[in-house]
Structure 1
């Protein structure tokens, strides 16, 4: 049976948190947050709840949930079957999401795709992937200053009733102890040396080495997300929570975007400097990053890797790089950002693209599979959602996903943060160790 969607205007809000506060305690509530009005570059907010079905995947690739016909397949095929089960009559609209999948694909889902190994131990026990099938959404377009409810007539009545209720106030949040890292400087230095040995031996060109920080907490994770968002608004933020588990992501990095005409884009970030305390210092740090041969080399290696990944599912000759190592500035850091674009080959779909490029090369290294094996060997614990992707896949073929960096993961009363960076042959151990802290120090400070 086909459900007819209607698009109904709602009062515009320049901040999505007001609308989502009315939904956040509903089953399967999700917020894909552009960070507006403070974050540059973000355009759309997407939020929903009460999915028709939820599909999870464990680290062995076993699929659970979904709808009849989704089990017994590899993760991405199962997710495509779940998406195909949603029969919607969609109006002609510029809005990016008119129903489909919303959720996450954790970094450890890569173990289902490549021979990574199993030396590192799981500490965070979220599924490797969790996606819900949503037949409605509130979508905000900040460029046009509009808010829309996309829903069937029956769903619209439900949602408007939810919006008439008073929002549940966010209970206080606090850490019960400061964040503690699983590596001290000497532990990081030993792993740095091992990476350098692998590079000199020709095993790899670049390795993204990360470390995890954890702290016990009490209280409302929605309050924690609001603190983080205030500290570092970014255009690919997200909040998802299930019981005592949650993802609080403040990512600045797009992984893969796909339009219904088959055009695709990825925006790898490689190269980081902190923002300066004065205008002069800030300008100096930005110029230093833009002129850094080491940081540009990191970025170019990942661009080449992504061109290869995209080439597996793109029309031959369509992959191009319209921006190489462009300087972009955020609330707390400067980054070098490249743009790689292409066109999907006939017969390919958005989830084929995600499977071909997953996980993102900017957070593994090159060559990708060997880099993932070295990461598994050297990092003491698994990454869980960190360095995976969050986002949506729409029934018409639209997709937009982030790289889950600057991301906190809550599980069993503990909050986990990771900081990492790309190591190449001329990397300096002290600079790299400091960079892992620079990327998340502001998040820790906001939560502490």
Structure 2
């Protein structure tokens, strides 16, 4: 850890979304919202809002040690947020296939507001080389509260939501993967579809985040603006947590999905069907085994265990099957080592992981941030790491005065996958983002 001094000040509670709305056009505007309006959603407790980082790295990394920059003293003192693109993790299997987004975006925020939903507590946090400079950053964070804006739900910011390829192309890809599985090439691969478009004139990515936050917040909701790029995520999936104080590592892979239904009886039946599905349980178990193997690379021998298996989680538009795997890190293993042991997340690659990534590359162009990870290190002034899987995520790039966007959704393909059913699963998964971007 660096020698930075950390200062905290407890304040009266504020709505984190309102604070984020007042800062969203500033450089580096960041909102990590637990539940994004529903903080009780699936364990979400802490939200964070910040802007104007003092240290930034945007660029390539070594695929053999992609998180090595985290070991740089300039990023070792907490207050760090990063985004690693999926394609970096796939590169050892696929080679370099072009770049649609920087490999790594990493920043440090000397000032931050932390919102504890469980205790309705708001804390202003400042970091600096000495106590005086840390207090200056606390004051800076407090001043952000003067810019609060009461958030309202805007109209849809885009007039279209177009798939990059016809549905038949995706179904053919699924059929090809099923054939490869039958031939013994692999057991499972997550194959994705993509949609893209342009926001209407004058509209902004934060509009999409506001619409997602209106009753559809996920445990790892995020908005991040950096220069001419922005990211909006409504991810329900935890990639990793790591607590350096006791070495505990946790991952919660998602595998298995059913759409929600407006009819309560039908909705309950769909959840029960998911829970009882031998196919979905087998798919989930394959990824649990993969994640156990990944965590073992960073863990003390004998500490990797499955704490919960095949739990059904219900989200606004889908039911998911979720399992929990934990471990205790070996002495000397830090956040970068934990991330490197498991990246990219197993739930969005397949098994065996290396071969699955090769097969994915035959059917998809580079993914960019989608199914990479957004991670935060020491935001509350401690040494904890939280990393989400960037599913239910849209990326934005400013072209002139307007913003283009791209979003993906995938499905885990196994031996008995039906191409049409897997395509319909991707449409269920993209539904919340589709409704947030466009009314079409």
The one-character-per-residue Cα deviations of 1:260-305 (angstroms, maximum 9, x if unpaired) are: 2110100000000111221110110011000000000110000000
Structure 2 residue 384 is the aligned partner of structure 1 residue 398: yes
Once residues 144 and 285 of structure 2 are traced to their aligned partners in structure 1, the CA distance between those partners, rounded to angstroms, is 48
- Of the candidates 81, 90, 93, which is equivalent to residue 102 of structure 1? 81
Q: Is 2:38 aligned against 1:56?
A: no
Q: Identify the residue that residue 336 of structure 1 maps to in structure 2.
A: 321
Say which SS state the counterpart of residue 180 (structure 2) adopts.
helix
Give TM-score scaled by structure 2 length. 0.90
Q: 1:82 and 1:232, CA in 2 relative to 1: closer, same or farther beyond 3 A? A: farther
Q: Following TM superposition, by how much is the alpha carbon of 1:385 offset from its aligned partner in structure 2, in angstroms?
A: 0.5
2:26 alignment partner in structure 1: 26
- Is 1:409 paired with 2:386? no
Q: Is the 8 A contact 1:173 1:224 kept in 2?
A: no
User: Cα RMSD between the aligned structures?
Assistant: 2.2
Whole-angstrom distance in 1 between the partners of 2:115 and 2:430: 28
Task: Tell whether the 8 Å contact from 1:247 to 1:409 is kept in structure 2 after alignment.
Answer: yes
Aligned to 2:129: none
CA 1:171–1:33: 2 relative to 1, 3 Å:
closer
Q: Return the alpha-carbon distance in structure 2 between the equivalents of residues 254 and 345 of structure 1.
A: 21
Change (3 A) 1:316 1:443: same
Structure 1 residues 20 and 82: CA distance shift in structure 2, 3 A: farther
Asked if the contact 1:55/1:79 (under 8 Å) is kept, the reply is no
**Structure 2 CA distance for aligned equivalents of residues 320 and 241 of structure 1:** 37
Structure 2 alignment gaps of length 5 or more: 127-133
Matches within 5 A, 1:137-286: 137-151=112-126, 152-165=134-147, 167=149, 174-218=156-200, 219-230=203-214, 232-260=216-244, 261-286=246-271
Residue 32 (structure 2) pairs with residue 47 (structure 1): no
TM-score, scaled relative to structure 1? 0.88
Write the distance in 1 (CA, Å) between the matches of 2:199 and 2:228. 11
SS of residue paired to 2:199:
strand
How far is 1:163 from its partner?
3.0
1:222 aligned counterpart, secondary structure:
helix
Measure, in 1, the Cα distance between the counterparts of 2:166 and 2:250. 37
Aligned pair count reads 419
Secondary structure (helix, strand or coil) at the match of 1:45 reads: strand
2:93 partner SS: coil
Partner residue, 1:317: 302
Match of 1:11 in 2: 12
Shift of 1:387: 0.4
SS of residue in 2 equivalent to 1:425? coil
Q: Do 1:406 and 1:439's aligned partners in 2 also have CA atoms closer than 8 Å?
A: yes
Task: Report what 2:339 is aligned to.
Answer: 354
Deviations 1:392-442 (CA, angstroms, capped at 9, x unpaired): 012743100110000011123311111111000011111101000011123
Call closer, same or farther: CA 1:428–1:83 in 2, change over 3 Å: farther
SS class of match (1:317): coil
Report the Cα offset of residue 146 of structure 1. 0.6
Give how far 1:166 is off. Answer: 6.1
